[in-house]
Chain A
Amino acid sequence: MQISLTNHSPRTIHWLRYAAPQAFVPLADRLIPWLFSVAALLVIAGLYIGLLRAPTDFQQGDAYRIIFIHVPAAWLSMVIYVVMAFWSGVGLVLNTRLSAMMASALAPTGALFTFLALLTGALWGKPTWGAWWVWDARLTSELILLFLYIGFMALQAAIADPRRADRAGAVVALVGVVNVPVIYFSVQWWNTLHQGSSVSLRSAPTMATLMLQGMLIMTLALWAYAAGAVLQRLRAIVLERERHADWVQHYLGARV
């Protein structure tokens, strides 16, 4: 008797089947070019609005235009961490291979955008505050986020057994997630140098429409880029870890 685990109606899409690495890799192959195309178009639109169309700020002059990379990078650094903690939790509870690999794939891109948020912040702080760096609550908590990403990657790199590395990393990711609301609310909790939010979920944004549009388009652009880059890294991790599986041999053979 033959038992089929995928005996479903062919008309419905079963997303859970993409939790299996051998189903995920071909899906990633299809998604990655789309994500990068969307990212490229949005970057062009966002830079056009941000650098050419948006008005000059009456206080900060054109230095404020750093906002179009700084804020999207900073938002993304927090979003990626939350997503990383989520997949770490799923991997820990359900013991699913792909969830833990997803957490590992997110970390380097998250660290990169945290670094960019800090660097562009320094380049913005120098002309407007007169200092590259201050021990402000927002800046300090964002620096801690960078250390959390680096700690997660260093810990996983130090443990040879991948499944143990997954679990150890997941614990760090879940403990560190408390830092994300600290970053987000730091400008309200501590009245320090970093300016408050111009965009919030509870009130109308306090900025010109073109500035807001440019910022949101750049945010979507970086999200699409990050999704593409993370899927690329996840695909590589899957192929590395399962290189001896028959399906990987079959997949690589079919592509040559």
Chain B
Amino acid sequence: MTWHGWSDLIAMGGYARYVWGSFGAAALALVIEQLSLRARRRAAEQRP
């Protein structure tokens, strides 16, 4: 797209909730996976 400022990028031509919903869901999923991996690693490193 041609750059007309942040509001255009945020509006996504009227499809904001679908486009940002998709990228937001993906970002959230990866953050949750990383948190769970970190917790699992900490548990695995506890000395038996």
A residues sitting closer than 8 Å to B (CB atoms) are 47, 51-56, 61-63, 65-66, 69-70, 73, 108-109, 112, 115-116, 119-120, 123-124, 126-127, 225, 229, 232-233, 235-236, 239-240, 243-244, 249, 252
Chain B interface, number of residues (Cβ within 8 angstroms) = 25
A51 to B11, CA, bound (A): 12
Please tell me which one of the listed residues A119, A236, A243 contacts residue B25 in the complex, with CB atoms under 8 A apart.
A119
Tell me which residues across on chain A come within 8 A of B29, comparing CB atoms.
112, 115-116
Q: Are B33 and A239 in contact (CB under 8 A)?
A: no
User: Whole-angstrom distance between the alpha carbons of A54 and B40 in the complex?
Assistant: 39
Contact digits for B1-40, partner A, Cβ 8 Å, 1 yes 0 no: 1010000010011110011011101100110011001001
Contact call A127/B15, Cβ cutoff below 8 A:
yes
Give B14's nearest chain A residue, CB to CB. Answer: A61
CB distance A123 to B45 under 8 Å? Answer: no
Name A233's closest neighbour in chain B (CB-CB).
B37
Residue ID in chain B nearest A50 by CB atoms: B23
- Closest chain-B Cβ to A241's Cβ sits at a distance in Å of 9
Given contacts A69-B23, A73-B26, A229-B33, contact A55 B18 (CB under 8 A): no
User: Which residues of A sit under 8 angstroms from B48, Cβ to Cβ?
Assistant: 243-244
Shortest distance from the beta carbon of B31 to any chain A beta carbon, whole Å: 11
Q: Which residues of A contact B25 (CB under 8 A)?
A: 116, 119-120, 123
Q: In the bound complex, how far is the Cα of B33 from the Cα of A73, in angstroms?
A: 15
A120 x B22 contact (CB < 8 A):
yes
Taking a contact as CB atoms under 8 Å apart, the answer to whether A232 and B12 are in contact is: no
Alpha-carbon distance A235/B22, docked complex (angstroms): 30
20 new A-B contacts at CB < 8 Å, known A61-B15, A63-B19:
A47-B23, A61-B13, A66-B19, A66-B22, A69-B23, A73-B26, A116-B29, A119-B22, A120-B25, A123-B25, A124-B18, A124-B22, A127-B15, A232-B41, A235-B41, A236-B44, A239-B41, A239-B44, A243-B44, A252-B45
